[in-house]
Structure 1
Amino acid sequence: MGGLYGLVVILLWTVSVRGQDVGSVISKSMFEDFLKHRNDDICPAKGFYTYEAFIDAAKSFGAFGTSGDPDTQKREVAAFFAQTSHETTGGGPSLPDGPYAWGYCFKEEQNPTDYCVADPEWPCVPNKNYHGRGPIQISYNYNYGPAGKAIDYDLLGNPDLVASDPTVSFKTALWFWMTPQSLKPSSHDVITGVWKPSEADSAAGRVPGYGVVTNIINGIECGKGSNSGGEGRIGFYKRYCSILGISPGENLDCYNQKPFGA
């Protein structure tokens, strides 16, 4: 009986792990606490970003928030929401609960410009604008094209879908998060410890930690010493790690890192 019992326990554990999704890491109440002011009247994205849309989108990226030990899973969720909250923030130090409670206030870039560049694989569609939209503020035709292909939507032809369908919006952010970009590793591989720095990375100061994620998302903030952009990303991250009950880890900034490709 002991052998059979042990086999049953193993099978049940396997089923449990395989059936796990990010909803076991971040509950709806935590999501609401993360983004507590996103539905305030002053936020243009009021009513757009929902927990249900996030969970639905995450089902297309099964490794997100489910890789590694429990602390690693939580750290990835905190890092993702920290970076995307900074990209969409509507807060300031004088607003209720401080600046790091105001993520996801915007769903489109303010004062957008034309982000169409020549690209034979992902050519711009006439009269379409590829400015920043969604949690990661995805921009440029060369991102809209492959993101759309990955999630099975024509985002080159209909980029506005990223600002009108919340599930699609989250999917584009998760696609960017999970996918290596040119010379850059994926943010997912960095925050889960899969990425190991090469000799060139080490020489450029790129060491494992949240700082490299910032370097991936917006490397122009890196290698310039302390700056408001980096401080904001770290501020969100520390707040979310605190809500999830984990430490943020080491190497949180990219102040002394060269951008990828530099």
Structure 2
Amino acid sequence: MTVWTVVLLSFLFIVGALSQGDVGSIISKTQFDQMLKHRDDAACPGKGFYTYDAFVAAAKSFGAFGTTGATDIRKREIAAFLAQTSHETTGGWATAPDGPYAWGYCFKEEQGNPPDYCVANQQWPCVPGKKYYGRGPIQISYNYNYGPAGSAIGLNLLNSPETVANDPVVSFKTAFWFWMTPQSPKPSCHDVITGTWRPSAADTAAGRVPGYGVITNIINGGIECGKGSNPQVEDRIGFYKRYCDILGVGYGNNLDCYNQRPFA
């Protein structure tokens, strides 16, 4: 083996190692497009907004997303993130072409005539004339979320909340911020899906057990959890199962939050 061969093999090894840290090595553009099959349908207000490149670029700002743990864990996190955000932005219905779970990411803004979502908060005060209704994949809402999300990604989103619906990379970054950031007493969605979170005694007493269901509890537990079977939770699970199937990974346990009490 020549010196140049050794150098070349070393280079290829380094490149291969680096690629393991990239979300793009877990989910391809083809898979992304298959999951969000109708996001660019003419009937979707978000047509052309949510791109694979924006997703990958935004993920790089949150280095632990989709890069933590074994390959199956990484796949499961990407599936869970896209599933929860697909529910938040879905344009699907029961008899939709290709099924209801092929219509994630149809919307980039809350529809109808949403309120301002402004509440008194000394640290993150509302800017007069600005509205903090749901925008982006996670449909981030309220000034107390826009403020810290913007701070985390280096933007003043209190002054310009509309950026979340105008810049796809920023839009994805706000969703990743929510996903990666624990808000006590809630753990982060990231820690739950990667197996880092361990339930406290209070969690156990409330039926909150590790699994995808706790993520639903984190996101919208006050409305959807602890109330038995309901269409909203079923929808979140439907997206998740479809995406796990596309990525070729098992679902894990405890997919619902039907018997979980919401976080305080």
TM-score, normalised with respect to structure 2:
0.93
Q: Structure 1 regions of 5+ residues with no counterpart?
A: 2-7
Q: Kindly indicate whether residue 196 of structure 2 is the aligned counterpart of residue 194 of structure 1.
A: yes
Q: How far does residue 18 in structure 1 lie from its aligned partner after superposition?
A: 4.6
Q: Structure 2 regions of 5+ residues with no counterpart?
A: 2-7
Equivalent position of 1:180 in the other structure: 182
The aligned runs of 1:1-262 (5 Å cut-off) are 16-19=16-19, 20-111=21-112, 112-220=114-222, 221-261=224-264
Measured in 2, the distance between the counterparts of 1:10 and 1:63 equals: 25
Q: How far does residue 15 in structure 1 lie from its aligned partner after superposition?
A: 6.4
Structure 1 vs Structure 2 CA RMSD: 1.8
Q: How far does residue 17 in structure 1 lie from its aligned partner after superposition?
A: 3.9
Equivalent position of 1:5 in the other structure: none
Measured in 2, the distance between the counterparts of 1:136 and 1:10 equals: 41
Q: Deviations over 1:35-81 (max 9, x none)?
A: 00000000000000000111110110111001010000000000000
Given residue 248 of structure 2, which amino acid in structure 1 is its aligned partner?
G
Q: How far does residue 225 in structure 1 lie from its aligned partner after superposition?
A: 0.2
Give the fraction of aligned pairs with identical amino acids, expressed as a percent.
71
Given residue 95 of structure 1, which amino acid in structure 2 is its aligned partner?
A
Q: How far does residue 223 in structure 1 lie from its aligned partner after superposition?
A: 0.2
Measured in 2, the distance between the counterparts of 1:222 and 1:175 equals: 23
Measured in 1, the distance between the counterparts of 2:182 and 2:128 equals: 28
SS in structure 2 at match of 1:201: helix
Aligned residues: 257
Q: How far does residue 16 in structure 1 lie from its aligned partner after superposition?
A: 4.1
SS in structure 2 at match of 1:40: coil
TM-score, normalised with respect to structure 1:
0.94
Measured in 2, the distance between the counterparts of 1:157 and 1:213 equals: 30
Query: Do the aligned partners of residues 10 and 222 (structure 1) sit closer, same or farther apart at CA in structure 2, a change above 3 Å counting?
Result: farther
Q: How far does residue 183 in structure 1 lie from its aligned partner after superposition?
A: 1.1
Equivalent position of 2:5 in the other structure: none
Q: How far does residue 164 in structure 1 lie from its aligned partner after superposition?
A: 0.3
Measured in 1, the distance between the counterparts of 2:11 and 2:218 equals: 39
Q: How far does residue 162 in structure 1 lie from its aligned partner after superposition?
A: 0.1
Q: How far does residue 114 in structure 1 lie from its aligned partner after superposition?
A: 1.8
Q: Deviations over 1:140-192 (max 9, x none)?
A: 00000000000001100000000000000000000000000131000000000
Measured in 1, the distance between the counterparts of 2:41 and 2:25 equals: 27
Given residue 182 of structure 1, which amino acid in structure 2 is its aligned partner?
S
Q: How far does residue 14 in structure 1 lie from its aligned partner after superposition?
A: 6.9
Equivalent position of 1:4 in the other structure: none
